Structure 1
Amino acid sequence: MQRYPMTVEGEQALQDELKELKTVKRPAVIEAIAEAREHGDLKENAEYHAAREQQGFIEARISDIEGRLSGSQVINVKDIPNSGKVIFGVTVTLLNLDTDENVCYRIVGDDEAEVKLNKISVNSPIARALIGKEEGDVVVVKTPGGEVEYEIETVEHK
């Protein structure tokens, strides 16, 4: 079975979502189904069908989260000595050599990636170009708009 890397924070977020789905949302939709059944004819009962559809979404999400958690390999970057190399879980500050702009990214698992929060997937082109490099190295990232050169300014284990 293939293992998927995940940060401690990513695992906790999935655990929290799973707990809410099982303890809050699942019971609420079961109650909504029971209430809709009391209204009579189920063939023409929109509330019943909506609640059943919502139940399907909740059960699918629970199954998805449980699958992701069972296939995850949780990596706590704080337990790894800082060698200055870019590895999974670190926060990297880069200098775009073309525009002289700084950008900061945290390299996380696929499920945790959110560019708006500066979290990029370990499988993204920029992360793949950075992995294994050190502070001071210049990396070339192939993007749809062409190649972009970055200099690695800092590597932080947060």
Structure 2
Amino acid sequence: MDRTPLTESGAKALREELERLKKTERPRIVAAIEEARAHGDLKENAEYHAAKEEQSFNEGRIAEVESKLASAQIVDVAKAGAQANGRIIFGATVDLADEDSGDELTYQIVGEDEADIKKGLLSFASPIARALIGKSEGDVVDVEVPGGKRTLEVVEVRYR
């Protein structure tokens, strides 16, 4: 089985979601099904069908999250960073300067399931992350992104 890298915080978020799905959502949906069932004829009972559909979605998500956690290789970023010799690796937080626009950017390179560009969490499979991995402070990389080519300078690399 291929192991999918995941940071400690990403694994924690998945475990919290799994607990919420099982302990909060599952009982709420079962109660909604029971209530809708009490209304009688199930063939034309929209509440019943909606609750069953929600149950199916919830159970599917539970299975998906359990599978992701089972196949995860949880990376201790601080420990891995101690061996990285200042290079950018999975889990590193990187401060960048966009040489074209002058923008300063900060990204943490994370697993695909925890990526969220609005929070500065960049999937290791993204073009920017692929270009940065293995680089060190002071390196300049050219990255082909959907908006065109960007030239980024690595200002600082941290492992937290």
User: Structure 2, unaligned stretches of length 5 or more?
Assistant: none
4+ runs deviating over 6 angstroms: none
Which residue of 2 is the match for residue 149 of structure 1? 151
Which residue of 2 is the match for residue 15 of structure 1? 15
Q: TM-score, normalised by structure 2?
A: 0.96
Structure 2 Cα separation of the partners of residues 51 and 83 of structure 1: 53
Q: How does 1:44-63 map to 2 (within 5 A)?
A: 44-63=44-63
Structure 2 Cα separation of the partners of residues 144 and 109 of structure 1: 20
Q: TM-score, normalised by structure 1?
A: 0.97
Q: What residue identity is the alignment partner of 2:159?
A: H
Shift of 1:78: 1.1
Which residue of 1 is the match for residue 28 of structure 2? 28
Worse-matched range after superposition: 23-32 or 143-152: 143-152
Q: Kindly, what percent of the aligned residue pairs are identical?
A: 50
Which residue of 1 is the match for residue 114 of structure 2? 112
Shift of 1:144: 2.4
Structure 2 Cα separation of the partners of residues 62 and 68 of structure 1: 10
RMSD: 0.9
Shift of 1:147: 1.6
Which residue of 1 is the match for residue 4 of structure 2? 4
Structure 2 Cα separation of the partners of residues 104 and 33 of structure 1: 46
Deviation sequence 1:20-49 (CA, Å, 0-9, x none): 110111011111111111111000111111
User: Structure 1, unaligned stretches of length 5 or more?
Assistant: none
Shift of 1:146: 2.3
Q: What residue identity is the alignment partner of 1:12?
A: K
Structure 2 Cα separation of the partners of residues 142 and 45 of structure 1: 52
Q: How does 1:70-109 map to 2 (within 5 A)?
A: 70-80=70-80, 81=82, 83-109=85-111
Deviation sequence 1:74-95 (CA, Å, 0-9, x none): 0011112052110000100001
Q: What SS does structure 2 have at the residue aligned with 1:74?
A: strand
Q: What residue identity is the alignment partner of 1:49?
A: H
Shift of 1:99: 1.6
